[in-house]
Amino acid sequence: MARKKIALVGAGQIGGTLALLAGQKELGDVVLFDIMDGVPQGKALDLAETAPVEGFNAKLSGTNSYEALEGADVVIVTAGVPRKPGMSRDDLLGINLKVMEQVGAGIAKYAPKAFVICITNPLDAMVWALQKFSGLPANMVVGMAGVLDSARFRYFLSDEFGVSVEDVHAMTLGGHGDDMVPLIRYSTVGGVPLPELIKMGWTTQEKLDAIVDRTRKGGGEIVALLKTGSAFYAPAASAISMAESYLKDKKRILPVAAYLKGEFGVSDTYVGVPAMIGAGGVEKIVDLELSSEEKAGFEKSVASVKGLIEACKTIAPALA
Ligand code: A3D
């Protein structure tokens, strides 16, 4: 059986980490694409030279030509610019929308059958635009944000409880902004929902509120520390888990930015919801029942995403 092919559009901080993880996990051969001459080629060569030491079999190559995406099974898009301290994700909209137009055309021409994972910010609006620009079926185009946001939530919870990260499951809903909705009721430690753990005296509502707040601002915390860019290890690991679920038809239920056609009462919008990822792309959306408080938080987050989508339509009338 021929190896799968993974194309990474954008060979920056996240792109390079994606290539390393895809290689180490032997998900397939990897092509790194970027507009910067020499960067994807240099990173691919450096990573190929890692393979003998790490003992993985994957061909890694770098390119400045979209042609190299030909026949990719998975395309992961990080092309664009990240934020710097003081910037919100939304400040990136104008510049990254133009990038999505070019990337969408490249994918449509060379990899129309691929499963496409967008990471470029502002995430929910960019994946919406990328799906429209590429014309690929909506179930084959998703955004990565929820896996990362819930990984941050899981990490903070495991730290609070002093338990393995493996036994902490957490769910975040909504757009990838500071108004995302970490769901306390649907998050568990060793299978026990967080509200029960408060009753059991393991933690307090105040401590959980502080963790929820830190989760919401988790991206900004790292931007403030790094000063020159945004998080890249955990975002890359999160996207790789989505790619792996698709390539191996694992049917994992992961929080992803998926195209909604009425689920959660939302239409023609990409926003973070739990979804099953398998060989058919997004195979099912888990249309959870929300409490009135959760619903209010989710609706506020969806309203922010819709505002950004409207801004995209103003900048690029072809999307209207
Ligand atoms: P960075 O290291 O700057 O890499 C971006 C790469 O994109 C650079 O190598 C650029 O040369 C390249 N690029 C720019 N324009 C184009 C183009 N037209 N075609 C192809 N390549 C191009 O950034 P990064 O890897 O740290 O982050 C990439 C994106 O991911 C940014 O928009 C971040 O805001 C976003 N991000 C999202 C999350 C989510 O959870 C959604 C988390 C972290 C970062």
**Domain containing residue 113: CATH number:** 3.40.50.720
pLDDT-based confidence at residue 87 (cuts at 50, 70, 90): confident
**Domain containing residue 251: CATH number:** 3.90.110.10
Structural domain count, the chain: 2
Q: Quickly list DSSP for 259-314.
A: EEESGGG-EEEEEEEEEEEETTEEEEE------HHHHHHHHHHHHHHHHHHHHHHH
Nearest CA to ligand 1 atom 34: 82
Q: Does the pLDDT of residue 84 top 90, yes or no?
A: no
| Residues 24 and 37 grouped into a single domain | yes
| Residues 93 and 207 grouped into a single domain | no
Report in angstroms the alpha-carbon separations of 94 from 34, 81, 121, 146, 317. 19, 11, 11, 23, 13
| Residues 297 and 230 grouped into a single domain | yes
Is pLDDT larger for residue 1 or for residue 169? 169
What tens digit of pLDDT does each residue of 177-217 get? 889 999 999 999 999 999 999 999 999 999 999 999 999 99
| Residues 100 and 192 grouped into a single domain | no
Mean pLDDT for 251-277 is 97
Residue 212 has a pLDDT of 96
What tens digit of pLDDT does each residue of 89-100 get? 889 999 999 999
Q: Strand 141-143 vs strand 115-118: parallel, antiparallel, or unpaired?
A: parallel
What tens digit of pLDDT does each residue of 31-73 get? 999 999 999 999 999 999 999 999 999 999 999 999 999 999 9
Q: What's the mean per-residue pLDDT of the chain? A: 96
Among residues 4, 176, 216, 306, the one annotated as catalytic is 176
Owning domain of residue 64: 3-142
Q: Does residue 100's CB lie within 6 angstroms of at least one atom of ligand 1?
A: no
| Residues 278 and 229 grouped into a single domain | yes
Q: Does the pLDDT of residue 161 top 90, yes or no?
A: yes
Residue 67 in tokens = 């042609």
DSSP designation for 37: T
Nearest CA to ligand 1 atom 26: 13
CA atoms lying within 13 Å on the CB side of residue 231: 21
- Give the distance (Å) from ligand 1 centre to CA of residue 82: 6
pTM check: above 0.95? yes
Residue 317 lies in a domain: no
Out of 107, 142, 177, pick the residue that ends a domain.
142
**What DSSP element (H or E) covers 142?**
strand 141-143
Q: Is 96 annotated as a binding residue?
A: yes
